[in-house]
């Protein structure tokens, strides 16, 4: 009854306003329309910057909860989602493939969709979901069994469903889809199971598949149901049949650069992790580069053709996935550039025309696997002796030489998105300072089984902190300020024109910092670790800030000694929305 009543209340609300749902124009202008948030990244360029400044560095101390919403039930675990705001409703995904529509004024639930997940799903790194996409009146999100679901945004009723890939073979899905010219575009997850990374485009209104683009060389793409072109050149950078289960999961989704008309997706680690099995071990002759794993890729949204690539970690051997988000910005000389902070510990600036290398600088300390990035070629200058050893060299053919590598495989930066403020010109990067013992082992591919050929133990490298929020000047690669956190940072970052930077901590806080100096100005304890992505919007003249709370993600599952160090953290599952009471907003 409650559900029916609320649904009719929404219809009454709807009848008083004229809307045809989210348009291409809404999506294209999301970064500047402050009354709604209809894209992942708070705008297609993923800058996570809001021009709002009613909440600013002078009054943020007065920020208090407006409402909180429990995601309920026994299903807790990590809440990594970015909420969307449209037409008075917050749409937010939860752990275990759930989606909630919440009245943004009251915090009351309008509807919820709970995907029925089969037994035997294989998510590598917690049962998270990072968000949904809206087009027209359809809200679309992906589920842990590698499906896409389109729901009527007013009722939560299923409009269409489609399968991305077979979950039994290790495929899953966790990223926020993107919408470009009426297409919904998605990646896939499962790089630890020897799946093949792919980007797919469907008609957002019907779910009809338009094109597919595998990102590992040798695999065939499709367009309108027919074979299109092969990715790369067969066996150019992969030995034998290893490309067939070559990984490169496009698990963090992608973005659309409206200026160049190009999709930009990242591809994760080549599979298996043991680089010697992929010819990537001994020689730097290009034959073991394993394209397009550990790369950023520019893709034509009309037909799925790859137009450019830049590989951050050729000959990858540490699980340095190349999936991190790519953010367009303008440098000090007025050049249109991309910035991306890679799992391998380097902050890259690329050319937006073709993804060409411009510069790279380390953003975490004590990197072991490379001395730096060659300024001319953009290739790493390897420390070959920091590559985990070939098991074939071990006396019994078992475990290869163990090395201690920095960053750990969870990365100088993992999935959690950075923000860029055009006001300060800085990037705000949620990074972690940690390392790992890593070694290689023999492995062969078996469908649905882990395909690593590696073992590992993650360890802190400093006594007093792991997490490090850094403000980085992309013109110099230098860190302008740094905030150190005891536990590893795992939440998204947001910057605002109010000279503020927001992010969350596993210790449970949502925090606000001065964007210029890094001074902590405000914090609020949400009751569980914050690994979600903050957003802000204005409604009826007031600015709101929201974030999901709920500790989880990859750290408790894979963090080794770090996981033990933070095992005291409590799980949860809630949304928090904040505002400044009107009487205090000018104080």
Our CB check for Ca ion shows the closer of 269 and 431 to be 269
What single string gives the DSSP state of each residue in 447-473?
TTS----EEEEEEESSSS-SEEEEEE-
Contact status, residue 147 vs residue 97, Cβ threshold 8 Å: no
Tokens representing 581? 């009471």
CA-nearest of 107, 129, 2 to 544 is 107
Q: Under the rule (CB under 5 A), what is the footprint of Ca ion?
A: 191, 268-269, 319, 321
- Tell me the torsion sign for CA atoms 296, 300, 305, 308: negative
Our CB check for Ca ion shows the closer of 264 and 271 to be 271
* Minimum gap (Å) between residue 249 Cβ and Ca ion: 7
DSSP secondary structure letter of residue 524: E
What single string gives the DSSP state of each residue in 347-392?
EEEEETTT--EEEEEE-SS---SEEEE-TTT--EEE-GGGSPPPGG
* Minimum gap (Å) between residue 26 Cβ and Ca ion: 34
- Residues facing residue 361 across a β-bridge: 347
Residue length of the chain: 587
Contact status, residue 570 vs residue 137, Cβ threshold 8 Å: no
Our CB check for Ca ion shows the closer of 247 and 474 to be 247
* Minimum gap (Å) between residue 321 Cβ and Ca ion: 4
Instruction: Indicate the pairing of strand 520-525 with strand 89-94.
Output: unpaired
- Residues facing residue 525 across a β-bridge: 509
Neighbouring CB atoms inside 10 A of 208's CB total 14
Tokens representing 447? 């469908």
DSSP secondary structure letter of residue 70: E
Element (H, E) at 485: strand 479-485
Contact status, residue 208 vs residue 194, Cβ threshold 8 Å: no
Catalytic residues: 319
Contact status, residue 420 vs residue 339, Cβ threshold 8 Å: yes
Our CB check for Ca ion shows the closer of 126 and 319 to be 319
Our CB check for Ca ion shows the closer of 194 and 378 to be 194
In the block, tokens 């730096």 appear at 372
Nearest-angstrom CA–CA distance, 290 and 271: 9
Contact status, residue 322 vs residue 296, Cβ threshold 8 Å: yes
Our CB check for Ca ion shows the closer of 80 and 319 to be 319
- Residues facing residue 179 across a β-bridge: 184
List Cβ neighbours of 177 (8 Å cut-off, separation of 6 or more): 40, 132, 133, 140, 141, 142, 148, 184, 185, 186, 253
- Residues facing residue 102 across a β-bridge: 90, 109
Tokens representing 101? 């529509």
* Minimum gap (Å) between residue 319 Cβ and Ca ion: 5
* Minimum gap (Å) between residue 192 Cβ and Ca ion: 6
* Minimum gap (Å) between residue 191 Cβ and Ca ion: 4
């Amino acid at each position: 009854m409650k559900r029916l009543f609320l649904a009719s209340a929404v219809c009454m609300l709807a009848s008083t306003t004229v809307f045809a749902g989210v348009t291409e124009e809404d999506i294209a202008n999301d970064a500047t329309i402050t009354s709604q948030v209809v894209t992942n990244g708070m705008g297609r360029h993923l800058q996570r910057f809001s021009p709002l400044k009613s909440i600013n560095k002078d009054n943020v101390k007065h920020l208090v909860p407006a409402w909180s919403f429990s995601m309920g039930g026994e299903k807790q675990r990590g809440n990594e989602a970015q909420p969307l705001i449209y037409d008075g409703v917050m749409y937010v995904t939860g752990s275990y493939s759930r989606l909630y529509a919440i009245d943004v004024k009251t915090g009351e639930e309008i509807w919820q969709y709970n995907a029925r997940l089969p037994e035997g799903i294989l998510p590598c790194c917690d049962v998270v979901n990072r968000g949904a996409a809206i087009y027209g009146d359809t809200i679309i999100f992906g589920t842990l069994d590698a499906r896409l679901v389109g729901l009527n945004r007013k009722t939560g009723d299923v409009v269409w469903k489609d399968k991305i890939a077979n979950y039994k073979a290790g495929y899953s899905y966790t990223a926020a889809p993107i919408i470009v010219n009426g297409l919904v575009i998605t990646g896939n997850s499962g790089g630890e199971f020897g799946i093949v990374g792919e980007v797919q485009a469907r008609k957002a209104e019907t779910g009809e598949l338009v094109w597919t683009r595998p990102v590992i060389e040798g695999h065939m793409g499709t367009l309108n149901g027919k074979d299109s072109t092969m990715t790369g050149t067969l066996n150019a950078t992969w030995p034998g049949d290893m490309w067939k289960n070559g990984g490169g999961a496009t698990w963090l989704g992608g973005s659309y650069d409206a200026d160049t008309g190009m999709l930009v997706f990242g591809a994760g680690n080549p599979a298996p992790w043991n680089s010697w099995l992929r010819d990537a071990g001994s020689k730097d002759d290009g034959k073991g580069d394993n394209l397009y794993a550990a790369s950023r890729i520019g893709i034509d949204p009309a037909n799925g053709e790859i137009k450019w690539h830049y590989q951050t970690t050729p000959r990858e051997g540490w699980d340095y996935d190349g999936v991190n988000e790519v953010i367009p910005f303008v440098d000090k000389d007025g050049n249109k550039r991309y910035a991306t902070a890679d799992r391998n510990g380097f902050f890259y600036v690329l050319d937006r025309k073709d993804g060409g290398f411009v510069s790279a600088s380390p953003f975490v300390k004590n990197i072991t696997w490379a001395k730096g990035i060659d300024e001319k070629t953009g290739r790493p200058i390897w420390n070959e002796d920091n590559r985990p050893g070939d098991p074939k060299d071990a006396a019994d053919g078992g475990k290869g030489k163990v090395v201690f590598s920095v960053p750990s495989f969870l990365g100088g930066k993992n999935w959690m998105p950075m923000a860029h403020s055009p006001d300060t010109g800085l990037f705000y990067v949620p990074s972690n300072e940690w390392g790992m013992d890593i070694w290689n082992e023999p492995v062969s591919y078996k469908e649905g089984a882990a395909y690593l050929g590696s073992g590992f133990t993650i360890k802190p490298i400093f006594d007093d902190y792991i997490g490090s929020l850094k403000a980085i000047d992309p013109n110099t690669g230098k860190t302008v300020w740094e905030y150190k956190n005891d536990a590893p940072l795992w939440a998204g970052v947001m910057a605002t024109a109010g000279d503020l930077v927001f992010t969350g901590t596993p210790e449970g806080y949502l925090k606000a910092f001065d964007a210029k100096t890094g001074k902590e100005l405000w914090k609020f304890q949400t009751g569980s670790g914050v690994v979600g992505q903050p957003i802000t919007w204005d409604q009826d003249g007031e600015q709101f800030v929201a974030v999901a709370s709920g500790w989880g993600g990859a750290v408790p599952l894979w963090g080794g000694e770090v996981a033990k160090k933070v095992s005291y953290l409590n799980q949860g599952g809630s949304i928090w929305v904040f505002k400044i009471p009107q009487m205090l907003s000018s104080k």
